[in-house]
Amino acid sequence: MEVIIRPDPQQAAWLTAQLIARRIQAKPDLVLGLATGRTMERVYAELVIMHRRNGLDFSGCKTFNLDEYIGLTADDPHSYRYYMNQHLFNHINIAPGHTYVLNGAVADVKAEAARFEAAIHTAGGIDLQLLGIGESGHIGFNEPLSAIMSRTRDKALTPATRRQNAALFGGDMERVPKRALTMGVGTILDASELLLLVTGKSKADILARAVEGPITAMVSASAVQLHASCKVIVDEAAAACLQGRDYYDWIFANEPEWAEFRS
């Protein structure tokens, strides 16, 4: 794992978008795992700019989103399908049929989860999975005690998560669905590469527990420590509780792979 600390959320998002763009340029048929949430809005805005200005080409890509609220239809403005269309898909040249977001409005969520896992398999697996973190330590909607080997399934959301995401539902926690469909931790760990973006001081404590604490099902994001190729991009505020930052800063300042991103 590498932890890279950038001065502010904008620069952290910019670096994340640059890494995604390089992977697409190196492999035009990249299978890209995507995440939602406020943190990712800047990343998608950067990717849209790169598409418009530099012709970043998504036409060969397939995407798989981490999660979706159960009970929301695709045209509900609170659904993650709607979020993805608004922030990314409507503004780039990706075929709508190549964008996979779990359907939270189906009657049979178990069948939907199985269909999604099969689609990932058919696509040849996820090359690069983008991740955020919730204050409960979740990746996707893998709430505490999610098995590290879990696959895509339905999951009850913690009150903490529903409170955290209430701002996106007009501030009313009661309007936040109680359940979601989510890629499993094991599904996420199957991706060839992980890219975790974390910004803001509200995430500082959980980030330190995820990256430097013990691997535990209580903090699903700590499972990224098991992955052979994981980059964690954070801003100063989110880095506040990290113990090892001298080393992380040294890596960014000295390792050749980061040279082109140093100013």
Q: Where along the sequence are the contacts to ligand GLP (CB under 6 A)? A: 35-39, 66-67, 132-134, 140-141, 161, 165
Can you tell me whether residue 21 is helix, strand or coil?
helix
Position 248, amino acid = Y
Contacts of 8 (CB under 8 A, 6+ apart): 235, 236
How near is the Cβ of 61 to ligand GLP at its closest, in Å?
20
Nearer Cβ to ligand GLP (139/242): 139
How near is the Cβ of 104 to ligand GLP at its closest, in Å?
12
Nearer Cβ to ligand GLP (47/133): 133
Nearer Cβ to ligand GLP (4/35): 35
How near is the Cβ of 52 to ligand GLP at its closest, in Å?
24
Nearer Cβ to ligand GLP (147/251): 147
Position 184, amino acid = G
Radius of gyration of the chain (CA): 17
How near is the Cβ of 67 to ligand GLP at its closest, in Å?
5
The answer to whether 5 touches 236, Cβ cutoff 8 Å, is yes
Parallel/antiparallel/unpaired status of strands 99-100 and 62-65: parallel
Nearer Cβ to ligand GLP (79/161): 161
Which parts of the chain fold into alpha helices (H)? 9-26, 38-54, 80-87, 109-122, 159-164, 185-189, 204-212, 245-254
> Is residue 96 exposed (0-12), middle (13-18) or buried (19+ Cβ within 10 Å)?
exposed
Can you tell me whether residue 197 is helix, strand or coil?
strand
How near is the Cβ of 40 to ligand GLP at its closest, in Å?
6
The answer to whether 233 touches 16, Cβ cutoff 8 Å, is yes
The answer to whether 200 touches 163, Cβ cutoff 8 Å, is no
How near is the Cβ of 76 to ligand GLP at its closest, in Å?
15
Integer Cα distance of 161 and 26 in angstroms = 36
Integer Cα distance of 66 and 58 in angstroms = 19
Nearer Cβ to ligand GLP (93/218): 218
Nearer Cβ to ligand GLP (27/139): 139
How near is the Cβ of 261 to ligand GLP at its closest, in Å?
22
